[in-house]
Structure 1
Amino acid sequence: MNDVVNNQKEKYKDWVTENLGEKTGVWYAPYLEKLGQLLEKFGLAIGYKGNFFEYQSYSEFKDIYQQMTEQNDEDIEKFVMGRGTPHYPEKFGTTRIQFRQNYAEDEYNRGVRSKPDNLGGIPDWGVLIRSYLIFLYYAENPTLIYPKKEKKIANQEDEIDKGVNYWLISPGENSRLWEQFHNDNVIAIGWDYLGDIKNYSLKEAVERRISEQRADGVRPVHDTKAVWDFYSDIKIGDIIYVKEGIKKILARGVVTGDYYFDYEASEYKHRRTVKWLQVGKWELHQTFAQKTLTCLNNYPNFIQEIDKVMNEDFIDPKIAEVNEFQTWLSNQITDTGASLNDKTVKQKVNALKEIERHFEAAIFGESDIEQLKLLKDIVLSDDSYKKYKGVSGSSIDYYIRFIESKPTVQENENFTMDDFLSAVFIDKKELVRLISLLENKKNLILKGAPGVGKTFIAKRLAYVMMEEKDETRIHMVQFHQSYSYEDFIEGFRPKAEGDGFELKQGPFVKFARKAARDPERDYFFVIDEINRGNMSKIFGELMMLIEADKRGEQINLLYSNEKFSVPSNLYIIGMMNTADRSLALLDYALRRRFSFFEIKPAFQNETFKLYVNELNNPDVLKRIIDEIKTLNNQIVEELGTGFQIGHSYFVGDAYKVDATNRVEEVIEYEIIPQLFEYWFDDEQKVNHWAERLRGCYDGEK
């Protein structure tokens, strides 16, 4: 190689590494150096220079690029200016696939690669020539700055090819259609009643049709996204991984055809053709959500793990954890609104590694928060430890936050609308309305008298919207008169050992950050007795951020001054006891940020009646309920609807064992004392109702 060409290669390596990703220049350069020879050897293209670094000018190479890709000037301008990555035409998409396959087979035949279908580490042909075209443009325009000059640290071992999208797809429930997908060389999704998606001009039209079909009040955001992504966003040349459950991969393929609706298929009629590159069964270290279709482009470490596992490369769990933390750290926002720079990220990671070495203690992979806090105190109190002393404490704090905000994915029991209606004594129409209110407003308060099941309903409302019983995505707190901003958001709190104070994140900030790391799934923050606290004081500057149209906007927190936002996939459900006279009304500023839904006694609900009839001795309870309904009429007339006696007083396992004994306990020790509170100035009235209620079971003793 002459000096001019070699010098061009070195300049390319430096520029690409600086602007397109760490190690990218070193990775791409050897392929560009022999790309012309390889294309001719594989029968993919002829007539080009063997070493692409011999092309020295932007205009010359742009002509070459367009000959190969058939991309127009407008598309080229977009990616050169950093405004997106246009996908290639179908013909070039096919040859790009062939390039990687041929290269892998060639290395296998030469004994370099263990398997002919192991494509790990081979860059995409289109990505290679695109990177060189971008380099030439900025080399000839040195006053311009490539706009993606950031986030170089996000990918650790190798860069993923950014010219394609990476998708994770489920082949039907419990992977039941995988054999068909494999044999027919297709991927497919359901929602067949939609018909050909080409007939829909807008995504919103698809959502309306799915809503009509479901008729359950749940806004089908995730379903609509899956359908529309499958139709419009998957492109020829994209990589497809087929999953089973939450940890297994069944295959890796490449999309070879456009979307089509298969009228002849019996089910899963929305289809695309695929060429399967690897088929088997591989178990991953990480887990993924139980969704039909997921784009993995925002999770480069996950893509790398899949490819490594499929190519039987050893994955060190600790290295995987370090890489994941480093990626997370590079996305953290400082009080200036900027991300942590590469130097700071590396410094913090190295500080943690040095602490592990010096103190012979585990950090990466450690999930015990208290153990990490104890280690932090040991490090900071050790005067003999000097290296990275200035960043040791903050580095451990960042790692603690990383662990606390790490989503948990596990296989859970499904939870449907029918499951909800069989357990909760409200009608389907009311449930549909509840779901709609929460989805549109993001914040909902369930108000009602004692014993109407507000807390029980809140949790199951979260279940039905998640469509599974996932406790890891529900967090519950209870407000009280002394609850504060420092308890809820963040504040300085005494250390456990009593030596000074430390800044601690509150449960809302921790949970919101966890939800933000898992945007594909919904999270629910449940607040019991929400009107017992001083809401304006507790929420502070977050009062604005919880509004539906303010989700995602950032502000600086009061104590840490860190940027914080409330993600759109976090829903807030509050419960409000309307019978407690000691509570102040919510202020108007907070009230307009919530929808309010009154939960009423469900004595007339058919499911509740069925529950009563199935008890071993329902007659006593029926008489009591009839009397309670009459009592409630007087309560409503004199005190208001919020003071009624709720149905939850008469629900529980104890009724299934001995309904008569349990109903006596509830009347004597719960309801009658409550009536004395209601009519504290009219003891005669309370005694009258007490005798009426006792009369319902006295004769049964």
Structure 2
Amino acid sequence: MDAARPSLEEALSSFHRSSTSEAAAAVRQQRSAMLDRFPLDRWPSMPLERYALGQGKPQESFCWWMEWGTPALGSIRGGNASKHLIYKRKGSLGWYHDEKYRDEEEAWEQVRAAFVRAFELAKMGDWQAIDELGALEGGAALRCKALHVYFPEEILNVASREHLRHFLRLLGRPEAEDGNLRTVGLNRALLAALRERGRFDGWTTTEIGSFLYTWADPRESRMVVKIAPGEQAKFWEACLQGGYICVGWDEVGDLREYDSKESFRAAFSERFSSLYNGNKSKLTQKAKELWTLMELEPGDIVVANKGQSKVLAVGQVIEPGYELRPERPEFKHTVRVKWDTSYAKDIPSQPRWGLTTVDPIPPALYTTIISKQGGPPTTMPPPRVDDTFLELSAALEHKGQVILYGPPGTGKTYLARRFAVWWLLQHSGAADAHLVLADAERFRAEEGRLAAPRLAEQQPGSAPLTRLTFHPSYSYEDFIEGFRPAPTSTGTLSLKLEDGVFKRICRDAAAQPSRRFLVLVDEINRANLAKVFGELITLLEKDKRGLTITLPQSKESFAIPPNVYILGTMNTADRSIKLLDAALRRRFGFIECMPEPEVLQGTSVNGLALDVFLEELNRRIAANEGREKQIGHAYLLDGDRAIDDPEVFARRFRQDILPLLQEYCYDDYSRLAKYIGNKLVPDARTLNHEYLSKADDLIEALRLALSPTSQSGA
């Protein structure tokens, strides 16, 4: 359990059941609506049109009500419509269902019979058997929520398998790691574990569910976005009075009717292609902005803005989240928000805001927006933790060692350093680990403190964070142990056995089992990993941690403690992960970092849009050299901001990007011309240094050559 989280007993002592009264009223209303529309005794004869999405009036279907109409009974939002087992595809003929069925009618017969059987098993108390019903295999969350609707005191309103495991782990229950238990089994195990404690006697499952998420919400952070309510915020008063935020693109219709993000993007591109002149990058970005409304969950943060520097209010998303409001004359896509205008203020200009309707807010800016001087303290939740941090954290817990890999300039080292500080602080009990990343000076101070050796006599010497850089000469002797020349009292040299850095860390970590130690290795693939790790390859596996082997040189017993973790970075332009030793590759988790042109959106230099430039350049590189040799967005960033000075851009291009392209082309300038155009590469032997030396001429040449409609690189 995180030290910053209260214990179960502490949380219970501060939790008031009366705080759930409003939620309980919503539960009663929504369950009553469900039972009226879909009574249990009608299931054996329920027709497909009453069940499936995608037909006629979607709000009359069981699946629509389960995903959108009953948020108080537990959320199963997110992902695509396949979780409903059968649905009518929007915008195209045909149905989705398991391929083993001949058609939708056969699929429905089997799914309906399985639901009927599940309800019969629930009445008999045979919950385990419900998870074994083959026809419901792909609808774990749906069947769990359906059981809660009809048997509310026998099943908690928690339908996420990961959330259920999370709560069971906090209670110290072995069921959390039982791979045989599925969603219903895990739900029942959690309910039993809580009721065994005697502290929840008389509590409804609604009260228990509210308590669990108040105590230990498994969602590490909240999404934070800015949304402009129309040009110059012309719809703001309606939004403030109505308790929502609104955006346009009405022509695509209700977002809840699309079976996946992909089908929505296709429809959006088809409908708005002429508006954005067929620019695929722009269409993708704008579709992403609108779909963000579907991804916002209750508790997420919305900042309403006017122009590039004015915050109108900050609010939290409330149920039901996204809604289409057909009664509005325009800007019909809305999200319910509880607004707080006390956060209204002017902030430093944000150029991206002038080009985006919906845009993520980085932690540092969010911290600025919600900070209050001389007034009441902020009531808003902390900034969102980077999703990659959460994925990295989960991978480290699972594997013990992870490699961030990707093309040059994708911010692997930057990400690894920030993750290391956040992760170590979080696990040391710091309640504000996320805030450290929003303050550059504080981040540097914390990084230095975590990497400083422990010198106090009562503590071993290794720091919680150790940073290394591997290179071709890095060896087993450097990492584990080996003989080194050492002076003697007679002035000669002799060989002395010395511990390597990793051996020292493991020894110190074994003496401090409650502390986590992270070894951050830059350029991990530049060394011969099989030789560096040697016989430790066996001990790297998570289930082998703590087992001992005898080191061949010192003859000492050695083990890798479970509180030692390794995080490496790897440039795939130098060496593909396919070339790593296979045994080592199996023991590491891998997380890919790819170019993110969207972080450059809204910034241009002399008319060259940086996101379009990078996306088109990488399209050509990927087509000719492979996706692993693309150019990262970090080359066009200055800190967290995109560069906007033409001279700075020209220097970055000459000093960083052009040498990479030349390397990829092996000085074949005819190939190079396909990337950057004939103005900069006038013949097969040379570059046009006159253009390259002048920022304006260079940028104009790139703007013409890298236009998505240019034939270069075709």
TM-score (norm 2): 0.39
Q: Which has the larger radius of gyration?
A: 1
TM-score (norm 1): 0.39
